[in-house]
Amino acid sequence: MSRLLTVFGATGQQGGSLINYVLSNSELSKIYRLRGITRDIFKPASVALKKRGVEVIQANQNEPSTLAAAVEGSYAVFAVTNYWEQASAAVEIAQGKAMADASVAVGVTLLIWSSLPSVTEMSKGAVTFVEHFDSKAAVETYIRGLPIIKAFFMAGWYMQNHIHFMRPKPRDDGSFVLAQTWGPAARVPMLDITDTGKFLAPILLDPAKYDGKAFTCATDFYTPLELVDGWTKVTGKKVLYEQSGPAEANKNLTAEMQHKLMKKLADSSYFGPTGTADLKWTLAQIKEAPTPWVEFLRANEPWFSDVKSSA
Rounded to an integer, what distance in angstroms lies between the CA atom of residue 242 and that of residue 255?
17
Query: What residues are paired with 110 via a beta bridge?
Result: 76, 149
Q: Where are the domains of the chain?
A: 3-155
Containing 16, the helix (H) or strand (E) segment is helix 13-24
Compute φ and ψ for 253, nearest 5 degrees.
-115, 140
> What does 69-116 look like in DSSP terms, one character per residue?
HHHTT-SEEEE---GGGTT-HHHHHHHHHHHHHHHHHTT-SEEEEEE-
Task: Quote the pTM value.
Answer: 0.91
CATH code, 3-155: 3.40.50.720
Residue by residue, pLDDT tens for the chain (311 residues) are 799 999 999 999 999 999 999 999 999 999 999 999 999 999 999 999 999 999 999 999 999 999 999 999 999 999 999 998 888 999 999 999 999 999 999 999 999 999 999 988 887 887 778 889 999 999 999 999 999 999 999 999 999 999 988 999 999 999 999 998 888 988 899 999 999 999 999 999 999 999 999 999 999 999 999 999 999 999 999 999 999 865 444 444 455 555 555 555 555 568 988 999 999 999 999 999 999 999 999 999 999 986 554 43
